[in-house]
Structure formats: structure tokens, C-alpha cells
Homo-oligomer: A and B are copies of this chain.
Amino acid sequence: MGNLDVKERILDAAETLFACQGFHATSMRNLTVSAGVSLAMVNYYFGSKEALFDEVFESRLPALIKVCRRNLNVARDDAHRERRQLNVDEILYAIIEPILCYLESRSGSMGFPTLLGRAMISPMTVSEKRHVKPFFFLLSESLREAQPNLAEETLLWRVRFAFGAIGSAMCGLEEEQSAFGRDDFSCDAYVRLRMLMTFVVAGMEANVCCWSQAK
């Protein structure tokens, strides 16, 4: 207790509040009260509010990226054994499944999934984007192998759209329900995963000529 306990409590509270309200709408007082620690502790352990924000990502992301990379390698080995290329859906599953499910199972809290989702779709700060950069590269580089004939511009746009869809599946669930007045949204992670995979795989594999001349 003491040292690590307080640090961890601050990180948990920051994760939740930054996820629900965003960086600027969350005050230090708001945050420290929620964590049950005094105001000075944030600066003592993290230096500043911004440094705390970064630390939330840096304390949770590496493990997640590692899982994605491992999944990709396993899938790639399987494909290699069968003497074929990696499929688009295998790539997407290897990366999306951990993002939606590994995170959820870790603490039971939806804090970090929501925060990561927000970072993926928020146009906000470069600081926020910095943390999701690895996912962007992982996805685009893996998909380039599987879709070598797709124009680079098209590939990058599609990864971008996929990010938007993934982020939408991860954050603002309750808010959205109440805002749109629907409670038809299931929050079960595996339902979401199935829905999301179906949508994104189809979008990513779409025939380019399909909509070349709109209207």
C-alpha cells in the first residue's frame, strides 16, 4: 500500500474520467476527489496533468499491442503452413479482437476501451493521436500484404474509416443509447466484435469499381 496504491488509484480515476469527459473537461480536483487522494499527489507522481494523460496510455498500451502482434504472427504462421497469404479478415481479427475483448476482460471497467476509442476517432490533439499511431501502422502495413493491388491512397482511407468504426464500437455506448433513445444496442463485447468484424471486413474488401462514378 501507499506508493503504488495511490499511483494506481490515480491512473484508474484518470482513465475513467478522461474517457467519459475528455481531457479538458476533466479537472484535477474532479480527478483527485474521484481517486480519493489529495490534489498534490498528481503532480508528485506524474508531474503534470498532461503527463498523467500520457502515462495512462503508456501503462496500458504496450501489453495490448504485444497481444496484437502475437496474434498476427500466429495467423501468419498458420497461413504460411497452408502455403497461402494472410487474409484480410484474419488480419483484422488479430488486431480488433484484443482491442475489444482483451481490454474489456482486464479490469471489468470500460474505462480504457472508451479512452482508446476516443483517441482513435477524436480529431483533437496530436498528443492523443500519437498513442494510436502504432495501431494505424500495424493495420495499414499488414493489410498492404493482403491487398497488394489496392492503391495506397485507397488503403489508407479505408484504414481510417475502419478506425472510425472501431472507435464507434468502443466508446460512448451508454451516452449514445440515451441520446438516441434506443436500448437496442447490445453491450456484450462478443456481439460487438461480430458486428464490427462483419462491417469492417466488408468495407475493407469492397470492390473499388463499385462506386467509381458516383450517381
Residues of A within 8 A of B (CB): 20-22, 24-25, 89, 93, 97, 114, 117-118, 121-124, 126, 129-130, 133, 136-137, 152-154, 156-158, 160-169, 171-172, 175-176, 178-180, 182, 184-186, 190-208, 210-212, 214-215
Q: How far is the CB of A141 from chain B (nearest CB, A)?
A: 12
Contact flag A198-B202 (CB < 8 Å), given A22-B22, A214-B190? no
> Among B168, B185, B190, which residue has its beta carbon within 8 angstroms of that of A163?
B168
> Among B130, B137, B180, B191, which residue has its beta carbon within 8 angstroms of that of A136?
B180
Contact assessment for B195 and A154 in the assembled complex, using a CB-CB cutoff below 8 Å: yes
Contact assessment for B208 and A205 in the assembled complex, using a CB-CB cutoff below 8 Å: no
The distance in angstroms between the C-alpha atoms of A22 and B184, with both chains bound, is: 29
Contact flag A194-B206 (CB < 8 Å), given A24-B22, A153-B184, A175-B126? no
Contact assessment for A210 and B201 in the assembled complex, using a CB-CB cutoff below 8 Å: yes
The distance in angstroms between the C-alpha atoms of A195 and B152, with both chains bound, is: 12
Starting from the known contacts A24-B24, A133-B180, A202-B205, 14 additional A-B residue pairs (CB-CB under 8 Å) come to A22-B24, A121-B122, A121-B167, A123-B176, A156-B185, A157-B192, A157-B196, A158-B199, A163-B164, A164-B164, A164-B166, A165-B203, A193-B214, A202-B202
Contact assessment for A114 and B118 in the assembled complex, using a CB-CB cutoff below 8 Å: no
The distance in angstroms between the C-alpha atoms of A160 and B117, with both chains bound, is: 14
Question: Max chain B CB contacts within 10 Å: which of A164, A201, A207?
Answer: A164
